[in-house]
Chains A and B, each alone.
Chain A
Amino acid sequence: MNPKIKKIKEFWKDFSSNKVAVVSLIVFMLVLFVAVFAPLVSPTDPYDLNTVSIMNSRLAPFSEDFSGNYFLLGTDGAGRDMVSAIFYGLRVSLGVGVLSGIFALIIGSFFGISAAFFGGKYESVVMRIVDIQLSFPSILVALIILAAFGKGVEKTIIALILVQWAYYARTARSSALVELNKEYVDAARCLAFSNTRIMFKHILPNCMAPLIVVGTLQTAHAISLEATLSFLGLGLPITEPSLGLLIGNGFEYMYSGDYWISIFPGVALLITVASINLVGDHLRDMFNPRLH
């Protein structure tokens, strides 16, 4: 059998030993599917002004309008179908979270691995910056960026990257330090491979396991942080309505008892974040050598 397929099979056998993690993975796959194909699976286009009618404003869940449209989760203040708004919101939230996670992973592992590889002054400067940044709570880092530079899609993504990169850098460095002592690195050096090649073709693939663990947990954190920032009105603009913004919009109707406008987007957010966290938690246990 192809060794790669065998490895994947072994991994799956290990992973599927935890039923909660398997269920979480399935739930997350569903969420991902809905987010990617939001325009296809949504009952209506919540941002098409031709189909949204203000007459349908704040309908309760399970209600119908005069033309027979059914609203499973009710409508919001502008008469948008909540199901569709949540599907589109998931798309924005997941998109921003995953995109910032990937960038942070690239930047963080670049600095982490190169710090471990070159050592010396360069390493101490990079790791000092990491330490200093990690001494600030993530929300404060994001608040500084967004308060100083204003809100917007790119700025939110930049803020989320800045919040996360240090975690990746720290993880990448510590696993690269272990890898550097192994023989394959010596072998690669004897073959006079370039530093870049050794760092990113040889060391990086061997550091991927802990980076993926950090990646899942950090992505969950980023999605939740983005929602918080958008709720506060500091993150994404109204033109990119993420789940946080939907919750914020519903907040004003809460006092009049129209709970569904805030609650359901929050449930969607909770399901997304919790499923990623549970998968990440199990991955961490799997990759943790101390538990084996």
Chain B
Amino acid sequence: MKKNILSIALASAISASVILTGCGSKEVPDTANADKITLTNVSYDPTRELYTSYNEIFAAHWKELKGQDVEIIQSHGGSGKQALEVANGLEADVVTLALEYDVKAVQDAGLIEDGWVNEFDKESAPYTSTIVFLVRKGNPKNILDWGDLVNDGVGVITPNPKTSGGARWNYLAAWAYADKLYGGDEAQTKEFIKKLYQNVLVLDSGARGATTTFVENGQGDVLLAWENEAYLSIKDYPDDYEIITPSISILAQPSVAVVDEVVDKRGTREAATEYLNYLYSDEAQRIAGDNYYRPSNPDILAEYANTFDLDVNLVTISDFGGWDEAQAKHFADGGVFDEIYEK
């Protein structure tokens, strides 16, 4: 019997080590002299087309600069989910996520050094967007501004701000409108938000899901959407939808950052930094504009005056005291968003 136990233990140990292998080597590769390097860009859903175009011009730019080929691996998914993956060890040289709060989660995991927000221009947001309304052609319910969303019989589609990073912008934009309307009276503002979410027919878990619900499945009268997503829907179905830009909205700033821990280990800091820096070049800014993101360079933005409604009054996240404060007040367990759903 003793021999038997021994062989069981031995076999356990061997197969466990077989299963657990795969922990890589530790040395830092010398990438500066390599012929080719790879960078991994972990991003969120709607930037797929943007970065596909951008990666091409960046590869050309880097070749010219260093004579080196660069291959960029893109990863897309829900912003919060992507942040979790990077925090849990997915090797990303750079993250380009939907909001600062998600990049901060990667920072909190010890992978990004403090001060990343000021590492690049415009608070590390090379392109921005805002929240607009997508309505059915001819705007049958005559929805022109946030106030029209709380009317009886208006069906609103927006994702759940608790599961979708992007949807937090929708919520905050509505809040900004009501806050201004009621001159800062919080009780009335809450009541407005509550009414708005009572008109929400389907609370999808992510932004793309909400678009599917509205566009493919024909639910609701108005979709609260990122401007770039709304333009993509219009591009696909020009005869079915219209974009309404409300009087007030929020400046959505998708954040970019170099993942310090990873680039130091892989020896890719220089390339990764340049990858994000080059997003501010005129060429890259135009690619952003072509993909319906608002370029952060005001001169380039002016070139797109025909595309975007530049008159909209945009509040920013600092008006809410920054993400930490907004998160704690509105979206944390027991926050305002939970309150409006309590019975």
* Interaction A to B: no
Please give the residue numbers on chain A whose beta carbons come within 8 Å of chain B beta carbons, in ascending order.
Answer: none
